[in-house]
């Protein structure tokens, strides 16, 4: 089945995009804070300082003036001369009706009404302060009533224009701005570079997946680096390697199986064709041919039955298990093999221990014993022997099958449990084998939690040793 590739590129792109956007949202928020908070805080500090300076000064002037009974331009000017108030950009003193009596900006305003809201509020009895930061300067205004014995004689108004502190704050602001822009640029370059390499590696991985999905299981990924992505790349390679092996096994199995079925089918065709084509075949030859057809069909049946058995095991279908006495199973299985032993002129000897119980399906145990004993008979010499033993210890039951036969060359020993593997194809075929018996045995043993080993027997022959976990009624009842 082919799966259509989806829009992969768009997705990787959006990872990069998301990454950059969220990173910049964070950086932006940080820079905004860095550019506003210190300035606001220092501005507030200046406002406070201005308030206390102006209010203090206003209070000094107000209390000095309150010593006078009435306020007049002259008397105020005299008092003001005594006070040192040059640091303010403007000082205005009015009488109770907001008429200007004194103004540091010049005499032109004297005798006119002051229209500042601060003054009218001060005449109403309030102490007023207002400061603002605008056009690169702090402009602060304070106003206070001049009172004598709870009578409001007039008001004092101070105004200060400070560009010095303002320019200090402005220069801090500028420095912060430059730092922010520089930080932003560096962050931008780093983020883009980092996210590029990140997404490039992810894209690399995605491409490799595509290649493997396309059927090229030999493809391996080198993602570089030494991080989680490298780990992911390694896992991907492991997975691909397993896929490759499985795929190879599957292919070989299909081709072996077809080959195995093809051979007897071809013989059957050949034999039946000869019968059909020769018009005057005598009865004996005909019978011989039909017997051959029958044995080829039998071989086909055996092979397909074994293939079905193996595929059932591959699907993980397990037959029902019950405690099986291996000794008893051995005896009944050997009865089936007596004709073969007689035909080969091979003697079978066995010793069976008491109470060798294994939790298994009877069919599995039968398959194991039958295939091992059958091989021991088939790959034996005329007049040879087969020895079987069943015994056990506290935890295990052991089955050994030994023969005095042709033996298995060392280089083949590792492979004889593979499907369709045969050391001597001609001999196996002649004996009706398909090369599936031992793979069924090893699958069955593994499914029972046992182990099987093969070794040469001295002086000649082969020895198969199987161990099963022992079934003990007490223990298994407890669990
Ligand atoms: N006891 C034995 N002695 C010698 N060779 C053996 C023995 N058992 C198995 N073999 C070799 O292992 C191969 C695989 O065995 P098996 O899977 O049972 O297939 P077969 O259908 O050929 O018997 C056989 O073809 C044979 O070459
Ligand atoms: Mg066999």
Query: What is the helix (H) or strand (E) element at residue 141, kind and residue range?
Result: strand 137-148
DSSP state of 109: G
Q: Inform me whether the pLDDT recorded for 3 exceeds 80.
A: no
Q: Inform me whether the pLDDT recorded for 479 exceeds 70.
A: no
Residue owning the nearest CA to atom 1 of ligand 1: 376
Task: Please tell me the distance from the alpha carbon of residue 245 to that of residue 236, in angstroms, as a whole number.
Answer: 14
Give the β-pairing of 357-360 and 347-352: unpaired
Question: Mutation test of ligand 1: which of 416, 457, 464 has the most ligand atoms closer than 8 Å to its C-beta?
Answer: 416
Ligand 1 and 437: CB distance under 6 A: yes
Ligand 1 centroid to Cα of residue 433, in Å, is 8
State residue 178's pLDDT score.
Answer: 93
Q: Inform me whether the pLDDT recorded for 217 exceeds 50.
A: yes
Q: Inform me whether the pLDDT recorded for 25 exceeds 70.
A: yes
Mean of the pLDDT values across residues 111-115? 88
Selection from 124, 123, 159, 120 nearest residue 142 by Cα? 159
Q: Inform me whether the pLDDT recorded for 9 exceeds 50.
A: no
Do 221 and 208 meet the contact criterion of CB atoms below 8 Å apart? Answer: yes
The pLDDT mean for the chain works out to 89
Within 10 angstroms of residue 293's Cβ, the number of other Cβ atoms is 18
Q: Inform me whether the pLDDT recorded for 356 exceeds 70.
A: yes
Task: Please tell me the distance from the alpha carbon of residue 409 to that of residue 15, in angstroms, as a whole number.
Answer: 59
Bridge partners, residue 464, by sequence: 401, 454
Residue 438 CA: nearest ligand 1 atom is 17
Any idea which ligand is nearest the CA of 379? Answer: 1
Q: Domains in the chain and their CATH numbers?
A: 13-169 (3.30.450.20), 244-311 (1.10.287.130), 319-478 (3.30.565.10)
Residue owning the nearest CA to atom 21 of ligand 1: 433
Counting Cβ atoms within 10 Å, is residue 401 exposed (0-12), middle (13-18) or buried (19+)? buried
Supply the angle between the helices 8-65 and 164-213 in degrees, to the nearest 10.
170
Ligand 2 being an ion, which residues bring their Cβ within 5 A of it? 375, 433, 437
Ligand 1 and 346: CB distance under 6 A: no
Question: Mutation test of ligand 1: which of 310, 346, 379 has the most ligand atoms closer than 8 Å to its C-beta?
Answer: 379
Between these two residues, 307 and 10, which has the higher pLDDT value? Answer: 307
Ligand 1 centroid to Cα of residue 374, in Å, is 9
Ligand 1 and 461: CB distance under 6 A: no
Task: Please tell me the distance from the alpha carbon of residue 268 to that of residue 265, in angstroms, as a whole number.
Answer: 5
Report DSSP letters for 348-399, one per residue.
EEEEE-S--EEEE-HHHHHHHHHHHHHHHHHT--TT-EEEEEEEE-SSEEEE
Task: Please tell me the distance from the alpha carbon of residue 151 to that of residue 159, in angstroms, as a whole number.
Answer: 25
For the CA atoms of 294, 297, 302, 306, the dihedral, rounded to the nearest 10 degrees, stands at 180
Within 10 angstroms of residue 46's Cβ, the number of other Cβ atoms is 18
Task: Please tell me the distance from the alpha carbon of residue 70 to that of residue 157, in angstroms, as a whole number.
Answer: 18
* DSSP helix/strand/coil, 76: helix
Do 403 and 373 meet the contact criterion of CB atoms below 8 Å apart? Answer: no
Question: Mutation test of ligand 1: which of 418, 428, 432 has the most ligand atoms closer than 8 Å to its C-beta?
Answer: 428
Q: How confident is the model at residue 244 (pLDDT cuts 50, 70, 90)?
A: very high
State residue 4's pLDDT score.
Answer: 52
State residue 399's pLDDT score.
Answer: 97
Mean of the pLDDT values across residues 368-384? 96
How many residues can be counted in the chain?
Answer: 479
Provide long-range contacts, Cβ within 8 A and 24+ apart, for 293-298: 293/267, 293/268, 295/432, 296/264, 296/265, 296/267, 296/268, 296/271, 297/264, 297/268, 298/432
Ramachandran area for residue 147 (φ above 0: left; ψ -120 to 50: alpha; else beta): beta
Do 104 and 90 meet the contact criterion of CB atoms below 8 Å apart? Answer: yes
> Chain-centre distance of CA 290, in angstroms?
63
What sign does the CA torsion over 55, 59, 62, 64 have? negative
Bridge partners, residue 165, by sequence: none
**Tens digit of each residue's pLDDT (9 = 90 or more) over 398-452:** 999 999 999 999 999 999 999 889 998 887 777 778 889 999 999 999 999 999 9
Ligand 1 and 423: CB distance under 6 A: yes
Ligand 1 and 424: CB distance under 6 A: yes
Q: Inform me whether the pLDDT recorded for 350 exceeds 90.
A: yes
**What percent of the chain stands above pLDDT 70?**
96
Ligand 1 centroid to Cα of residue 389, in Å, is 20
What distances in angstroms separate CA 155 from CA 51, 91, 93, 308, one per listed residue?
Answer: 17, 11, 6, 113
Question: Mutation test of ligand 1: which of 422, 427, 454 has the most ligand atoms closer than 8 Å to its C-beta?
Answer: 422
* DSSP helix/strand/coil, 7: coil
Do 146 and 71 meet the contact criterion of CB atoms below 8 Å apart? Answer: yes
**Tens digit of each residue's pLDDT (9 = 90 or more) over 152-202:** 999 999 999 999 888 998 898 899 999 989 988 998 898 888 888 888 888
Q: Inform me whether the pLDDT recorded for 139 exceeds 80.
A: yes
State residue 477's pLDDT score.
Answer: 58
Ligand 1 and 403: CB distance under 6 A: yes
């Amino acid at each position: 089945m082919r799966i259509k590739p989806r829009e992969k590129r768009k997705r990787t792109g959006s990872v990069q995009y998301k990454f950059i956007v969220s990173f910049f949202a964070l950086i932006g928020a940080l820079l905004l804070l860095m550019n506003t908070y210190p300035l606001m805080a220092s501005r507030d500090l200046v406002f406070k300082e201005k308030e206390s300076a102006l209010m203090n000064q206003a209070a000094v002037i107000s209390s000095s003036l309150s010593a006078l009974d009435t306020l007049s331009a002259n008397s105020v000017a005299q008092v003001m001369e005594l006070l040192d108030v040059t640091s303010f950009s403007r000082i205005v003193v009015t009488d109770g009706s907001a008429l200007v009596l004194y103004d540091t900006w010049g005499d032109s305003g004297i005798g006119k009404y002051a229209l500042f809201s601060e003054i009218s509020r001060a005449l109403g009895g309030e102490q007023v302060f207002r400061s603002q930061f605008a056009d690169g300067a702090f402009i602060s205004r304070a106003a206070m009533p001049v009172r004598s014995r709870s009578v409001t004689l007039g008001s004092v108004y101070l105004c200060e224009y400070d560009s010095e502190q303002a320019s200090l704050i402005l220069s801090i602001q500028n420095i912060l701005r430059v730092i922010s822009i520089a930080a932003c640029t560096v962050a931008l370059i780093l983020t883009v570079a980092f996210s590029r390499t990140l997404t490039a590696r992810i894209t690399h991985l995605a491409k490799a997946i595509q290649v493997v999905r396309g059927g090229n299981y030999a493809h391996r990924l080198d993602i570089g680096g030494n991080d989680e992505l490298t780990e992911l790349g390694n896992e991907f390679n492991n997975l691909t390697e397993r896929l490759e092996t499985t795929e190879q096994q599957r292919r070989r199995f299909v081709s072996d199986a077809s080959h195995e079925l093809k051979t007897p089918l071809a013989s059957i065709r050949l034999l039946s064709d000869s019968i059909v084509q020769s018009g005057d075949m005598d009865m004996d030859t005909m019978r011989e041919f039909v017997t051959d057809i029958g044995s080829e069909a039998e071989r086909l049946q055996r092979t397909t039955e074994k293939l079905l058995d193996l595929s059932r095991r591959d699907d993980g279908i397990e037959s029902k298990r019950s405690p099986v006495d291996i000794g008893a199973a051995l005896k009944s299985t050997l009865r089936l093999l007596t004709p073969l032993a007689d035909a080969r002129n091979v003697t079978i000897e066995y010793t069976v221990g008491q109470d060798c119980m294994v939790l298994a399906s009877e069919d599995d145990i039968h398959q194991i014993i039958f295939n091992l004993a059958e091989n021991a008979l088939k790959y034996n010499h005329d007049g040879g022997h087969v020895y079987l033993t069943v015994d056990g210890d506290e935890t295990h039951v052991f089955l050994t099958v030994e023969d005095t036969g042709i033996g298995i060359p060392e280089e083949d020993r590792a492979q004889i449990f593979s499907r369709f593997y045969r050391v001597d194809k001609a001999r196996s075929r002649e004996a009706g084998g398909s090369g599936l018996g031992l793979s069924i045995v090893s699958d069955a043993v593994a499914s029972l939690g046992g182990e099987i080993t093969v070794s040469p027997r001295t002086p000649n022959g082969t020895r198969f040793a199987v161990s099963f976990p022992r079934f003990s009624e007490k223990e298994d009842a407890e669990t």
